Chain A
Amino acid sequence: MHEFILYIQSYLDSDRTPGGAGNIFWATVYILLVFGGLSVAVIAMNWLERKILAHMQVRLGPMRVGPHGLLQPIADAIKLLLKEDIIPAEADAFVFWIAPFIVVLAAFTVFVVVPFGPTHAITDMNIGILFMLGVSSLSVLGVVMAGWASNSHYPLIGALRSSAQMVSYEVAMGLAVLSVILMTSLNAQSTGTLSMIGIVQAQLAQGEWFIFKFFPLGLIGFFIFAIAMVAETNRAPFDLPEAESELTAGFHTEYSGFRWSLFFLAEYSAMIAVSSIAVTLWLGGWLRPFPNWLSGPTWDSIFSFVPGITFLLFAAICFFNTARMPKHPLFKIQTMGLAGFGVVLGLIGLALFLEPVRVRVNDIFWFAAKVAGFMYLYIWYRGTFPRYRFDQLMKVGWKVLLPTGLALLILTAIMGMRTELWAQLQEVWHGL
């Protein structure tokens, strides 16, 4: 028992990830934390998407279950779990059964390398970004299997569209990622890195986020990735595999109940995964704003209060809306519920002011805040853009993003080597 406690404590003053330190106990704890956090994020995202989309369309959205529909996701989850799980008679039962698990597995496994902080990742791999792209590309297999195994026309067409779309946008995505990896090699040893933590540390060392590197090259790479990642996750305006107006629900038409909710879970966690790639590669990962310009312990402590203040702000919004609730006795429980939610948010905010919590949670907060910005963008796209036609989709992927990505890669290489190239040119010039 004593040895076990020593084993647990041995990691606490380590400056590495639990996977890097080889501590199985903390690795398990981190895995459970990431899994739980993701599930909560997906539930919150479900509510937020319905609410924000509704407000964009001048509707109220869910209002009945809980105050402002806050309990709606829970009601939905219970409904989905209690629904009958139907396997169509003509379906290929085994493939139909296993397809949702493959999609979920691929969507969750990538979080092994996502760096929420310099030590807050399950592990740091030498091939981090390659692992993320590779494993997330496996999810298309699950989609294809689901569409084929349903033995029905709409799912098959949805699966065909999805595989074509994901394979073509992966190429553009890879090129944008490569330009970032070239940027990481701009150091004294001129050695780049594929490790997710290494990429963020390279941004810290070079003193700027890669979105601003070699302006506008970093920005162009970021835009290519930002477009490709929406297509990769099958979201509007690239949601052709599940276009409701043409294909009912695309590849998961025949799925119901628990299996359908697995697809739903996988879609949202894949969205979070690609957003965290974008945040890590271009937006400085866990780094707070201006880590070099506004450096020093004073600024550090000022910025470390931001998470607590944010949560207190959320609590204040809750209390403001509690005051605005109708005064009718029928709304009594709802008003109390909203006030209770506000109290919980406020307590979280106060807990974030405590010294030990504040220091440890700071980087996770900045990472999550940046990812949340991307999640809002996803909803915004869905509320704004009309769906692409399939030939337009292919045209954007192959004729716009791919050549731009290739040009970007070459230009980034030239910019990175510009002093050496200039010296060579002068040598040639003098030789003439």
Chain B
Amino acid sequence: MNPPVATPFFFYLLAGTMVIGGILVITRKNAVHSALALITALLAQAGLYLMLYAPFVAGVQIILYAGGIMVLFLFVIMLISIERAEKERQFNKQWLVGIIAAAALGGLFIAVYTTTTKGKALFPEGRMTYGESQNTQQIAALLFDRHAGQYMFAFEIASLLLLVAIIGAVVMAKKRI
């Protein structure tokens, strides 16, 4: 049996990359640099999915976020004049509300992590060791299987939401249809 590749070293590497990328997104003045930092963070997130034995989700993360959505982001940002954008104010004055919201969210995370119900932590204690060789098929079973499938409805509702957004975008962008 092979030793697990997903050692703590990789977790700290990927998590560190993500945090640094996230900080760079909000501190860079140049919008293109922010977008590039965001791409780095998203790729590191794909790495984290791999560590959780979910290669399919990692692949979708790369193809959709890093390859699709961020390219469109860059596409728009490239057309902005940098000189004008750099003169504009970078942060707004709502830091108090921001800190309260962030602290509340952090508190919630800590509370969930430390809470135990009936002597059991909410988080699984051991590391899940799914066979990653069947990951795609397992996701398909969760979605579409006649007996085990339970997320079909939620999945389709999300698709409907996206469809509405697409139609909305077309209606707003085109004056005459």
**Residue A393 at the chain B interface, CB threshold 8 Å:** no
Chain A neighbourhood of B78, CB < 8 A: 144, 147-148, 156, 159-160
**Residue A425 at the chain B interface, CB threshold 8 Å:** no
Chain B neighbourhood of A126, CB < 8 A: 55-56, 132-136
**Residue A348 at the chain B interface, CB threshold 8 Å:** no
Give Cα A131–Cα B135 distance, bound, in whole angstroms. 14
Q: Which of B6-14, B63-71, B161-169 sits within the interface?
A: B63-71
**Residue B62 at the chain A interface, CB threshold 8 Å:** yes
**Residue B2 at the chain A interface, CB threshold 8 Å:** yes
**Residue A372 at the chain B interface, CB threshold 8 Å:** no
Residues B71 and A163 in contact, CB atoms below 8 Å apart? yes
Interface size on B, residues (CB 8 A): 29
Give Cα A194–Cα B59 distance, bound, in whole angstroms. 11
Residues B132 and A137 in contact, CB atoms below 8 Å apart? no
Residues A130 and B68 in contact, CB atoms below 8 Å apart? no
Chain B neighbourhood of A159, CB < 8 A: 78
Q: Helix, strand, loop or mixed for chain B's interface?
A: helix
Give Cα A116–Cα B151 distance, bound, in whole angstroms. 38
**Residue A135 at the chain B interface, CB threshold 8 Å:** yes
A123 CB to closest chain B CB (Å) equals 11
**Residue B39 at the chain A interface, CB threshold 8 Å:** yes
Q: Mark B118-149, 1 if CB is under 8 A from A, else 0.
A: 00000000000000111111000000000000
Within 8 Å by CB of B72, from A92, A127, A148, A167, lies A167
Give Cα A167–Cα B63 distance, bound, in whole angstroms. 11
Question: Which has the most chain A C-beta neighbours within 10 Å: B2, B39, B74?
Answer: B74
Residue in chain A with minimal CB distance to B77? A148
Interface size on A, residues (CB 8 A): 30
Among B45-67, those with CB < 8 Å from A are: 55-56, 58-60, 62-63, 66-67
Residues A125 and B55 in contact, CB atoms below 8 Å apart? yes
**Residue B36 at the chain A interface, CB threshold 8 Å:** yes
**Residue B113 at the chain A interface, CB threshold 8 Å:** no
Residues B67 and A137 in contact, CB atoms below 8 Å apart? yes
**Residue B15 at the chain A interface, CB threshold 8 Å:** no
Residues B39 and A141 in contact, CB atoms below 8 Å apart? yes
Residues A140 and B71 in contact, CB atoms below 8 Å apart? yes
Residues A134 and B63 in contact, CB atoms below 8 Å apart? yes
Give Cα A17–Cα B70 distance, bound, in whole angstroms. 34
**Residue A36 at the chain B interface, CB threshold 8 Å:** no
Residue in chain B with minimal CB distance to A148? B78
**Residue A411 at the chain B interface, CB threshold 8 Å:** no
Residues A191 and B137 in contact, CB atoms below 8 Å apart? yes
**Residue A279 at the chain B interface, CB threshold 8 Å:** no
Give Cα A350–Cα B164 distance, bound, in whole angstroms. 64
Give Cα A141–Cα B79 distance, bound, in whole angstroms. 15
Give Cα A188–Cα B33 distance, bound, in whole angstroms. 51
**Residue B32 at the chain A interface, CB threshold 8 Å:** yes
Chain A neighbourhood of B30, CB < 8 A: 92
Residues B68 and A141 in contact, CB atoms below 8 Å apart? no
Chain B neighbourhood of A166, CB < 8 A: 71
Question: Which has the most chain A C-beta neighbours within 10 Å: B36, B39, B56, B134?
Answer: B36
Residues B137 and A148 in contact, CB atoms below 8 Å apart? no
Give Cα A167–Cα B67 distance, bound, in whole angstroms. 8
Residue in chain A with minimal CB distance to B57? A127
B17 CB to closest chain A CB (Å) equals 15
**Residue B75 at the chain A interface, CB threshold 8 Å:** yes
**Residue A294 at the chain B interface, CB threshold 8 Å:** no
Q: Using a CB–CB distance below 8 Å, which chain B residues touch chain A?
A: 2, 30, 32-33, 36, 39, 55-56, 58-60, 62-63, 66-68, 70-72, 74-75, 78-79, 132-137
Give the 9 A-B CB pairs with smallest separation, nearest first.
Answer: A137-B67, A134-B63, A22-B2, A134-B62, A130-B59, A127-B59, A127-B55, A148-B78, A144-B74
